Structure 1
Amino acid sequence: MGLAALNLSHSAQAETVKVPVGQQQAASHIAKPGKGMDMAAVKSQFGDPIKESPAKGTPPITRWEYEQFSVFFESDIVIHSVLKFQRSDR
């Protein structure tokens, strides 16, 4: 029983990942689509996405991938855009 508990506690350990908060601020100057923009306006301002994921669910949610950010649409309206993590140690 004691050996089983020892094995269980060993497998439950996790790695701690630290995200440098100061580095997140450096990327905040990157322009990305704002809420309420439609797909045509996003393409006009930012060009064609690198990848377009097909719409899923109800209401339909579509994701477009750009080099530095991802854009999420409900139908054809931006509901969120997210900067991609840029590693500084490469």
Structure 2
Amino acid sequence: MKLFCFLTLLVIAPITLAEEIAIPVGHQGISGLDLPKKGLTMTQVESAHGSAAVKHEATGQPPITRWEYDNYIVYFEGDRVIHSVLRHKPKAQYKTPSN
């Protein structure tokens, strides 16, 4: 029984000492990067952000379309933005916005 308790503590101890690191979304990526806002049309996104590197066809019902830019991905439902997300990569690999 003592051996079981010792082994249990030995396994649990490192887990209880683990540190969680949380990076707020506002501190991820690069500053000055303006992601397309929810509700914009495809035409508005293309005129403000240029042509996407890759445009995936709509799939599913309702139709969801994905446009991939260098630093982020934009998701559309129909022709409206429903979500924009940063690509996951080290900060040094992001292309600096040319404003």
**Amino acid of the residue matched to residue 52 of structure 2?**
P
Deviation (angstroms), 1:27: 1.9
Q: What does residue 27 of structure 1 align with? A: 29
Q: Percent identity?
A: 37
**Amino acid of the residue matched to residue 84 of structure 2?**
S
Instruction: Report how many residues are paired.
Output: 73
Note the alpha carbon deviations across 1:13-49, whole angstroms, 9 max, x for none.
Answer: xxxxx87727971426321100000000000000000
What runs of 5+ residues in structure 2 fail to find an aligned partner? 1-19, 94-99
Matched, 1:72 2:81: no
Higher Cα radius of gyration = 2
Hey, which bits of structure 1, 4+ residues long, moved more than 4 A? none
For residue 44 of structure 2, give the secondary structure of its aligned residue in structure 1. helix
Go from structure 1 to structure 2 and tell me whether the alpha carbon gap of 1:62 and 1:22 turns closer, same or farther (over 3 Å shift).
Answer: closer
Q: What does residue 56 of structure 1 align with? A: 59
1:82 to 58, 64, 85: 85
